């Protein structure tokens, strides 16, 4: 089996996290794109401020790297409240959550990343807390155990998930607002890159900007990452950050003209060479290329579908004509897209 690939849209390293931190927009007006979500969020926060109450709980859903953590930070900034960061994988017992909830300050924003990965017992505690600002804490063990109610100060949960469909309904229903983040248009990514280049004091030609944006998979995190690679290239080769430097740098990192990386291409190649272009189930496809089906489903598939290279049909995933053309392979006479 081949070596598993990295989750391309997840932060790669501590250095990348620090770099991202420096480039994060601090308020809603600096946040590029997602116009609808921005307007909805703005209204929700302003209404809460006018009424002097904590804003409704907010669920941010969408593929990685589109700005969920950034938006959670912006909610804290815009409401002038402290932010507590946590994540589903860190909340594996109800006790883990109880200790976070019981130490929240009044009005605090509790960010729970990957909220779909919380333990079931913690989920149950969370939806009671979100609704009634109260939790029941078990004291003692066995037959003598009793549950003691604990009142909590009002707070706002901002949950982030790449898999909104995995959240149980009772939890999903406790969010007053669900924002569905969409992939960014190239022109929006150009704005993200323009801002980042300015902050990095990097001179980027217009064609370089366009070329990086087009290859960023509609994702600001990837746009910023590619910008970093181009900056490195320009620095080491003592050359301006031109369109040509972008081509050379990105070729070196296996990013093709559409922005597909090694994993995207492996999925398409696997689908075409091992399953005659499909239809095939996502799990079977993932196993065949030695990758987690969760990564394929939450990172690779949404982008390939959006690019028109992969189609979801009731019988499984199918490579489109464009996929064959993009990979330079002969297009079969019949493609089962029904």
Ligand X SMILES: Nc1ncnc2c1ncn2[C@@H]1O[C@H](COP(=O)(O)OP(=O)(O)OP(=O)(O)O)[C@@H](O)[C@H]1O
**CB-facing half-sphere around the CA of 16: CA atoms within 13 A:** 17
Closest approach, Cβ 14 to ligand X, in A, equals: 14
**Is 132 annotated in some ligand binding site?**
yes
Catalytic residue among 162, 219, 295, 320: 162
**Is 174 annotated in some ligand binding site?**
yes
Catalytic residue among 172, 217, 221, 265: 221
Catalytic residue among 7, 79, 113, 225: 113
**Is 68 annotated in some ligand binding site?**
yes
Answer yes or no: 146 catalytic: no
Question: Residue 234 interacts with ligand X (CB under 6 A)?
Answer: no
Answer yes or no: 264 catalytic: no
**Is 207 annotated in some ligand binding site?**
no
Interactions with ligand X, residue window 30-59 (CB under 6 A) = 31-34
**Is 229 annotated in some ligand binding site?**
no
CA distance 287 to 326: 24
Closest approach, Cβ 308 to ligand X, in A, equals: 23
Site string for ligand X, 113-142 (x = CB under 6 A): x-----------------------------
Question: Residue 109 interacts with ligand X (CB under 6 A)?
Answer: no
CA distance 304 to 92: 33
Single out the residue of 86, 224, 288, 307 in contact with ligand X (rule: CB under 6 A).
224
Considering CB under 6 A, how many residues would be counted as binding ligand X?
Answer: 23
CA distances from 117 to 88, 131, 165, 254 (A): 5, 20, 12, 31
Closest approach, Cβ 117 to ligand X, in A, equals: 12
Q: Quick one: three-class SS letters along the chain?
A: CCCCCCCCCCCCCHHHHHHHHHHCCCCCCCCCCCHHHHHHHHHHHHHHHHHCCCCCCEEEECCCCCCHHHHHHHHHHHHCCCEEEEEHHHCCCHHHHHHHHHCCCCCCEEEEECHHHCCHHHHHHHHHHHHHCEEEEEECCHHHCEEEEEECCCCEEEEEECCHHHCCHHHHHCCCEEEECCCCCHHHHHHHHHHHHHHCCCCECHHHHHHHHHCCCCCHHHHHHHHHHHHHHHHHCCCCECHHHHHHHHHHCCCCCCCCCHHHHHHHHHHHHHHCCCCECHHHHHHHCCCCHHHHHHHHHHHHHHCCCEEEECCEEEECHHHHHHHCCCCCCCCCCC
Answer yes or no: 162 catalytic: yes
Single out the residue of 220, 277, 278, 302 in contact with ligand X (rule: CB under 6 A).
220
**Listed ranges 93-101, 217-225, 230-238, 318-326: which one lies at the site for ligand X (CB under 6 A):** 217-225
**Is 306 annotated in some ligand binding site?**
no
Question: Residue 190 interacts with ligand X (CB under 6 A)?
Answer: no
Answer yes or no: 231 catalytic: no
Question: Residue 68 interacts with ligand X (CB under 6 A)?
Answer: yes
Answer yes or no: 69 catalytic: yes
Closest approach, Cβ 142 to ligand X, in A, equals: 41
Question: Residue 159 interacts with ligand X (CB under 6 A)?
Answer: no
CA distance 62 to 167: 13
**Listed ranges 16-24, 204-212, 249-257, 283-291: which one lies at the site for ligand X (CB under 6 A):** 16-24
Binding residues for Mg(2+): 69
Binding residues for DNA: 312, 317
Binding residues for ATP: 23-24, 65, 68-70, 131-133, 174, 184, 221
Instruction: List the catalytic residues.
Output: 68-69, 113, 162, 221
Positions in the binding site for ligand X (CB under 6 A): 10, 20, 23-25, 31-34, 64-70, 113, 160, 162, 192, 220-221, 224
């Amino acid at each position: 089996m081949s070596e598993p690939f990295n989750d391309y849209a997840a932060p790669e390293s501590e250095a990348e996290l620090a770099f991202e931190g420096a480039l994060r927009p601090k308020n809603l007006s600096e946040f590029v794109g997602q116009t609808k979500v921005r307007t909805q969020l703005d209204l929700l926060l302003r209404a809460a401020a006018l009424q002097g109450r904590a804003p409704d709980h907010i669920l941010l859903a969408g593929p990685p790297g589109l700005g969920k953590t950034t938006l959670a930070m912006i909610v804290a900034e815009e409401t002038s409240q402290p932010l507590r960061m946590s994540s589903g994988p860190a909340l594996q017992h109800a006790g883990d959550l109880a200790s976070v909830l019981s130490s929240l300050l009044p009005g605090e924003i509790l960010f729970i990343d990957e909220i779909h990965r919380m333990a079931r017992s913690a989920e149950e505690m969370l939806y009671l807390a979100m609704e009634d600002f109260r939790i029941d804490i078990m004291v003692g063990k066995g037959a003598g155990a009793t549950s003691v109610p604990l009142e909590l100060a009002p707070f706002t949960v901002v949950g982030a998930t790449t898999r909104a469909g995995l959240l149980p309904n009772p939890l999903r229903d406790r969010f007053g607002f669900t924002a569905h983040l969409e992939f960014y248009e190239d022109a929006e990514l150009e704005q993200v890159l323009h801002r980042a280049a300015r902050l990095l004091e990097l001179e980027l030609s217009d064609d370089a900007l366009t070329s990086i944006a087009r290859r960023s998979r509609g994702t600001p995190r990837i746009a910023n990452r590619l910008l970093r690679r181009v900056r490195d290239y320009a620095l080491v080769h003592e050359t301006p950050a031109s369109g040509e430097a972008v081509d050379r740098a990105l070729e070196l990192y296996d990013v093709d003209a559409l922005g597909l990386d090694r994993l995207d291409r492996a999925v398409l190649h696997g689908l075409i060479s091992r399953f005659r272009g499909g239809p095939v189930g996502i799990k079977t496809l993932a196993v065949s290329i030695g990758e987690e089906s969760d990564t394929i489903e939450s990172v690779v598939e949404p982008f390939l579908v959006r690019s028109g290279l992969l189609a979801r049909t009731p019988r499984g995933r199918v490579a489109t004509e464009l996929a064959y053309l993009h990979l330079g392979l002969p297009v079969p006479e019949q493609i089962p897209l029904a």
